[in-house]
Structure 1
C-alpha cells in the first residue's frame, strides 16, 4: 500500500484530516478536542477510518451481478468480510491530492475499465471529492463523470462513522424502511416500525439496524449531550435514501449514510425509481452534503 500520510485542514476551531492512499478517507473531523467522527485507528483498514466515499454504487449488489445497456455484468468480491460486492470502487483505491488550501482539499480518482479492473466496475469514470471547512463545519461535494463510451448506471454516497458516546441521540425522518433477506439485501419496503422510528430525537439504544430507509428528507441530527455537541447532517434533496448501521454499543460507533439510491437498486425492476441514475458518455452526477456543528 502507498504511504498512509495524512493531509490536514484547520478552520474556526475545526480540524479535518484525510488520507489519500487509504481510499481517500477522512481520518478525523473534530471541533477543539471533541471527535465528531470516529477517529481512524491508524491501520490499513479503510473501514476503520472516519468516513469514506461510496461510488459508483452504495452498499451490496445482489449475486455480484447486474444488467445494464443490454448486457450482463459480474463484479468480483471486494471485501473479505462480505459475501457480496459492497460500497463500490472508490474506497479501495488510492486517490490523488489535486488541490490543497488551508481550509479546502480536492481529491480525484480515475477508474479505467481495462483488464482486471473491469471486474471491479465495467465502466470507466472519474471522481472528484471536494472537502471544505467553514465556521459551521464541513462541506462535501462529490462528482462522478462517465468516461466510458456507453451509458453507465451510477450512484453516490458517504459512509461516515460516528462515535457512540454514552447518551448519544439520533433523529431523522423517512417514509419507509427496507426489510432485508439473509444476504442483507432489501426484500420488502414497510412503514417505519416504532422501534426504528427516529422522527423525534431519541437515545440510540440497540435498534439492531443495518437497513436502508427510503423517502428520507435529507437531514439527520446527532447529539452528544454530555459534550454539549450537536451535528446536523444535511444532504442534497435528491439524496432520498439513508442507510443506518447500529452494531452493538460495545463497538463504539454507528453509521448514518446519505446515499443516492436504495441498496441493490441495480437489480430492482425499475432501478431509476429507486435512485439509480444513468449517465450518458461524458455526463456528470454531482451530490453535496454538509456536517453542521453547534454547541448545545
Structure 2
C-alpha cells in the first residue's frame, strides 16, 4: 500500500475523523469525545455513492440514444456506483482538511475524474464532491451513505429522526421510484424524500448528542430497516435518477454537491 493509500486521520479538539482512500475513500470512523458515531464491522462508516446513487434499474441507463449496461451488483439492479470499490489518491492533506480523487474507468463508460473533500471543525464536518468529464457529457449522481449507529452505548437511548420532507417518492415492488410523489409515510424506511428547500435531517441521541445533516440539494434517502444503524443519505438525485432526472456533467458544467454534518452535545 503506497503512502497515498494509507488511512488519513484528521482531528480538531476531541473530534477525530478517519478516511480510507484505499477502501473507496469511505469515512471509517467519526469519534466525538471518544464516542464512535458510525457503525464498525462489515457495513461500516460512510461510503461515497458515485457516479450514481442507489439503484439504477436493471443496470441500464441511456446517454441520449446510447444504452449502457452496468454490473448487477444488487440483482436485478446496479447499486451505489463504483467509487466505493475504487482506490482513491490523495490530492491535498492538512490537519483538518483533505482532498482525494479517482479517475472514472470501466465499468463506467465515460472518462472523467471524481474529487471528494473533507473539512473537519470541532462541531461540524463538511463533505463535497465534484465530477468532471474528460470528454463527452454524461449523466451522473453523487451522494453519501453513512451508517450512523442507532445507539451510541453508554446506556443511552436509541436515535430519533426528525425531518419534514415535501414528498416521498413512491417505491415500487422493484425498489425503484414509480414516478409518483406521495405524502410522506411513517417508517421504517428504505425510501427517497424530496426537500426542495434543501436537505435537513436531525438525528438525536437523547441526553447525548444531536447531529443535523444538511445539503443544498433536495434529495435524501432514509434507510432504517437494520437494527444497528440508521442511514441518512443526501444525494444529487433520486434512485434510478440516471434514467428519470438525468443531471449531465459537461466540459463546462461539473457536478458539485456538498453536505455538512453539525452537532452539539446534550
Q: Could you say whether these structures have the same fold, taking a TM-score greater than 0.5 normalized by the shorter chain as the test?
A: yes
1:11 counterpart = 2:6: no
> 174, 183, 192: which is aligned to 1:191?
183
CA contact (8 A) 2:61 2:67 kept: yes
Partner of 1:144: 131
CA contact (8 A) 1:2 1:21 kept: no
1:232 counterpart = 2:189: no
Deviation at 1:88, TM superposition (A): 1.0
CA distance in 2, matches of 1:130, 1:280: 21
1:242 counterpart = 2:220: yes
> 187, 204, 214: which is aligned to 1:223?
204
Partner of 1:200: none
Q: Deviations over 1:159-212 (max 9, x none)?
A: 11100013311111111112222221112321113x2xxxxxxxxxxx221111
1:53-132 to structure 2, matched below 5 A, reads 53-77=48-72, 79=73, 81-112=74-105, 117=106, 120-132=107-119
> 161, 164, 167: which is aligned to 1:170?
161
**Matched position secondary structure for 1:21:** helix
Deviation at 1:82, TM superposition (A): 4.3
Q: Deviations over 1:88-125 (max 9, x none)?
A: 1111101112221111111111113xxxx1xx221111
> 133, 142, 166: which is aligned to 2:120?
133
CA distance in 2, matches of 1:208, 1:222: 15
Query: Cα 1:82–1:10, aligned 2, differ >3 Å: closer, same or farther?
Result: farther
Q: Deviations over 1:125-174 (max 9, x none)?
A: 10111101112221111111112x22211211111110001331111111
Unaligned runs of 5+ in 1: 196-206
Query: Which structure shows the bigger proportion of residues in helix conformation?
Result: 1
Partner of 1:288: 258
Q: How many residues align?
A: 258
